[in-house]
Structure 1
Amino acid sequence: MTSAWLLQSHYHQQLIQHKINSLNERNAIKQQYLQSMQSQTSLQLQSLTEKVGQLQAQGIKLNSLGERIIEKSNFPKEEFEFELNENTEQNTKEDIPTSTLNNPAIVVTPELTILNKSVSQLAYQYEKSQNLLQQLEITLNNLHLVDELFISGRPVPDESSWISSPFGTRSDPFTGRLRRHNGVDIAGYTGMPINATAAGVITTSEARTGYGFLVEINHGNGFKTRYAHASSLVVSVGDVVEKGQQIAVMGTTGRSTGPHVHYEVIKDGRQINPNYYIQRLPS
Structure 2
Amino acid sequence: MSITVIYSREEKDHTFSLTKNRFLLIPFLFIILFTTSTWFIQSHYKNQLAQFKITALNEHDISKDKYLQLIKIQSDEKLIVLSSKLGELEAKVSRLNMLGERLVEKSKLPKEEFDFETIPATGKVEKVASNDTFQSSLLLQTIENIDLRLIKKEKQLTRLEIALNNRHLLDESFISGRPVRGKGSWISSLYGTRKDPFSGKLRSHKGVDIAGPTGMPLVATAAGVVIESGKRGGYGLMVELHHGNGLVTRYAHAIELTVKVGEIVSKGQQVAVMGSSGRSTGPHIHYEVLKNGRQVDPDYYIHRIAG
TM-score w.r.t. length of structure 2:
0.62
Check conservation: 2:107, 2:164, Cα contact below 8 A: no
In the alignment, what sits opposite 1:252? 276
1:243 counterpart residue number: 267
Contact 2:182 2:217 in 1 (8 A): no
Deviates more, 1:128-137 or 1:206-215: 128-137
Q: Which residue is equivalent to 2:251? A: 227
**Correspondence for 1:88:** 124
Structure of higher CA gyration radius: 2
Per the TM alignment, residue 108 of structure 1 is displaced from its structure 2 partner at its CA by 3.4
Query: Per-residue CA shift, 1:8-44, capped at 9, x if unaligned?
Result: xxxxxxxx9xxx9xx99xx9xx99xx8xx99xx7xxx
Identity among equivalent positions (%) equals 48
For residue 71 of structure 1, report the CA deviation from its aligned partner: 11
The secondary structure found in structure 2 opposite 1:227 is strand
Aligned equivalents of 1:219 and 1:173: distance in 2?
31
Q: What SS does structure 2 have at the residue aligned with 1:258?
A: coil
Deviation at 1:139, TM superposition (A): 2.3
Distance change (3 Å), C-alpha of 1:214 and 1:235? same
Opposite residue 124 of structure 2, the aligned amino acid is T
Cα distance between partner residues in 1 of 2:157 and 2:127: 28
Tell me how far apart the structure 2 counterparts of residues 72 and 216 of structure 1 sit (CA, whole Å). Answer: 36
Q: Aligned-pair distance for 1:159?
A: 4.6
1:125 aligns with 2:161: no
Q: 2:242 corresponds to which letter in structure 1?
A: N
Q: CA RMSD in A?
A: 4.7
Q: TM-score, normalised by structure 1?
A: 0.66
For residue 259 of structure 1, report the CA deviation from its aligned partner.
0.6
> Which residue of 2 is the match for residue 171 of structure 1?
195
The one-letter amino acid of 1:203's match is I
- Is the contact made by 1:203 and 1:238 (CA closer than 8 Å) also made in structure 2? yes
Q: Which residue number corresponds to residue 162 of structure 1?
A: 186
**Could you say if the C-alpha distance between residues 83 and 239 of structure 1 is closer, same or farther in structure 2, counting changes exceeding 3 Å?**
farther
Alpha-carbon distance change, 71 to 259 in structure 1, aligned in 2, over 3 angstroms: farther
Give distance in 1, aligned partners of 2:105 and 2:236.
39
Deviation per residue, 1:155-175 (Å, 9 max, x gap): 125852222222223333233
Q: Give structure 2 stretches of 5+ with no counterpart.
A: 1-49, 109-115
Structure scoring higher RCO (CA < 8 A, sep ≥ 6) equals 1
Q: 1:84 to 1:217 in 2, by over 3 A?
A: farther
Q: SS state of the match for residue 161, structure 2?
A: helix
Tell me the distance in 1 between the aligned counterparts of 2:99 and 2:271. Answer: 33
Q: 2:204 aligns with which of 175, 180, 187?
A: 180
- Tell me if 1:204 matches 2:237: no
Q: CA deviation at 1:133?
A: 2.2
